Every structure is written in structure tokens, then in C-alpha cells.
Amino acid sequence: MKKLSIVVPCYNEEESVTLFFSTVKEVINKINSDRKVIVPEYIFIDDGSSDDTLKEIKKLNKQFPDVVHYQSFSRNFGKESALFSGLEKSTGDYVVVMDVDLQDPPELLSKMLSLIQNSDYDCVGTIQKERLGQSKLRAFLSSSFYKVVNKVSDVYIEPNARDYRIMTRKFVNEVLALPEFNRFSKGIFSWVGFKTTYITYESQPRVAGKTHWSLQQLFAYSIEGIIDFSDVPLKLATWVGSISFILSILGLIFVIVRALTVGGSAAGWPSLVVIILLVGGIQLFCLGILGQYISKIYLETKHRPIYIVREDA
């Protein structure tokens, strides 16, 4: 009998935990109704919630101590950290990552499970069709992000793929073998390779609570995705620098030749100021790009833990 680990990152989701568990349990029972196909293991990660999320998880753990496990962080470390610790704690032959807000439809589990068991895919992911309630601006930013990241990075990131995915043990072990502190899972899942296929579904509303992503956080997350998997911005800085250098040499030659032939002129202060500002701007822009990479290196070299556990069961 194969074991399925269900990894569930939770941050301030007190209303969703029990509902999530009962819904998924029903789906698993249905999968096992004809013959027992899979043994589930639930791994809830409480990502430093400030509400009663941990209390709800503990209730489930008390009720089903062999099936429900949890880990509670010392503070909020972010979904990426929660996901990583969940994968580390998982022991199943297959591991599925699910949001607790039921936006990742549990009904798909049966299809995902049979795909991964009966084909040679190592990972079955999900793609959400157009997001419910998403503003035009967010949709535009999101599609631009995928365009840019897939143009500049070493890995292909499937547009609109969710973190909802089922993986084989082999796949999970390789994901865990990447020790980086700056974790951009969408990129890591793609970087490790193997064979992945995707199922598409209609987007679902949250059962309770609200999303934790502000536009600003999404923007930072996008920059993270680009910086973590691409050195194109650095190359861009070099290119912009080189081009402005060549242009300035050409300009210098022009000024010298003009001074020697028709004589110099004092006119042109405004254009001079504009050029100084432009070059200064380009320099700062390139320095900023460098700074982004240096800050990532800085964080990596500190070798800080990806998460800190306060309680574990």
C-alpha cells in the first residue's frame, strides 16, 4: 500500500483547517471506497499564525494522532518555508501540497493520484484558469511576469501553475537536496527536471479568510523569481553600461573634431545636464541590480535556517 503525504501550509486560517480536513478526508475515502489504494498522512504547517490555527490543528491531531501531524513555527516565515518544512517532514511515497483555503480543489486528487501512479510522470501539477475576482491590473502584471521570467531565466515556469502538485518521493528528495535559503519553489520544481504534466481547472473562491498577498508582495515575489533563476539582469547592466560607454566615446570624438574644425561652443548646457542625469540614472539602475544579487548572496552566506520550529508532532 502506498502512502500519500498531504502537506498544508497554514497562516491565520482558523476557519479553514477543520473544513479542509473533513473535505479532503471524504475525497480520500472515496478514492479508497472500491479497494484501499492509498494511506493518507496529513502534515499541517502552522506558519506562526496569530489566531487559533494551531489550536484547530492540535484538535485534529488529538483525534487522529496517527494520521495528522503538524509543525508550528516560532514566527511567520512565509509559505515557501512552510512548504519546505512540510516536504522535509513528509514520509509518503507521494507528496501533495495543498492550500488550506480549499482553493486547490480536493476532487482533483483522484485524477492526480491515478496519473502519477499509472504513468511515468514524476510530478502532476495544476494550472488555474483565469482567477476569480482578479483585477485587470493583477492579471496584466501576472502575465507580464511569466513572459519576462520565461524570457530571461534558465528554467521554464508554467504560467498560472499553482503550488498544488503531487510528486513522487524521488522528486521530493531532489527538491529537498537544494539547500538554498532564497527559495522560489515554482523555479525549483522546474529546475530539478523530471517529467511533469499539468491539469487545468476553473479557479475557486476561498472558503474563508482572505488572501495574504498584497500587490507589493507579489511584486517582490516576482523580482525574487527573476533574480533567483537568472543572471540576465546582470548582463543587462553590463550591456547598458557598455553601450553608454561607446556612445560617450563617439560623443567625445565628435566634440574634439568639431573643436578642431569649426571651433567649440558654450551652448548646450541643458542637453549636458540631461546627459549627466541620464548617465547617473543608468549607473544607479545598474548598481541597484548588482545590489539585488549581493543581498541574495549575503543572505545565503549567513546560512540561517529556513524555518524555526516551536512545536512538532
Residues in contact with ligand UDP by the rule CB under 6 A: 9-11, 13, 47, 76, 78-79, 82, 99-101, 103, 211-213
Instruction: Find which of ligand UDP, Mg ion, none residue 82 binds, CB within 5 to 8 Å per kind.
Output: ligand UDP
- Nearest distance, CB of residue 101 and Mg ion, angstroms: 4
Q: DSSP assignment, residue 304?
A: -
Among 12, 16, 61, 103, binds Mg ion (CB under 5 A): 103
Contact 310, 74 (CB under 8 A): yes
What are residue 42's DSSP bridge partners?
6, 68
Residues 222-251 that bind Mg ion (CB under 5 A): none
**CB closer to ligand UDP out of 156 and 213:** 213
Task: Find the shortest distance in angstroms from Cβ 136 to ligand UDP.
Answer: 17
296 binds, among Mg ion, ligand UDP, none (CB under 5 to 8 A by kind): none
- Contact predicate 46/10, CB 8 Å: yes
If the CB atoms of residues 206 and 244 are measured against ligand UDP, the closer one turns out to be 206
> What is the closest distance, in whole angstroms, from the C-beta atom of residue 276 to ligand UDP in the complex?
44
> What's phi and psi for 69, nearest 5 deg?
-120, 160
212 binds, among Mg ion, ligand UDP, none (CB under 5 to 8 A by kind): ligand UDP
Helices marked H in 108-231:
108-118, 136-152, 169-177, 185-191, 215-229
Of 161 and 167, nearer to ligand UDP (C-beta) is 161
The one among 15, 41, 101, 228 contacting Mg ion by CB under 5 A: 101
C-alpha cell of 222? Answer: 516576482
Size of the site for Mg ion (CB under 5 A): 3
Q: Which three cell numbers stand for residue 106?
A: 480536493
**Backbone dihedral region for residue 38 (phi beyond 0: left; psi -120 to 50: alpha; all else: beta):** beta
81 vs 232 by CB, closer to ligand UDP? 81
Residue 41 belongs to what H/E stretch?
A: strand 38-46
Q: Output the CA–CA distances (angstroms, integers) from residue 259 to 14, 174, 245, 251, in the order listed.
A: 76, 65, 21, 12
Instruction: Please identify, using beta-carbon distances, which residue of 14 and 99 lies nearer to Mg ion.
Output: 99
**Of the candidate residues 99, 122, 163, 174, the single one contacting Mg ion (CB under 5 A):** 99
- Binding partner of residue 13 among ligand UDP, Mg ion, none, CB cut-off 5 to 8 Å per kind: ligand UDP
163 binds Mg ion (CB under 5 A): no
Instruction: Fill in the amino acid letter for 121.
Output: Y
Here the cell at position 270 is 541643458
Cell of 41: 498522512
What is the smallest separation between the CB atom of 137 and ligand UDP, expressed in angstroms? Answer: 16
- Closest CB to ligand UDP among residues 16, 190: 16
69 forms beta bridges with 43
Residue nearer to ligand UDP on the CB measure, 25 or 186: 186
Q: In which residue are the cell numbers 527559495 written?
A: 183
Q: Please enumerate in sequence order all residues whose Cβ is within 8 A of that of 194, keeping only pairs 6 or more positions apart, or say none.
A: 122, 123, 168, 170, 171, 174
Binding site for Mg ion (CB under 5 A): 99, 101, 103
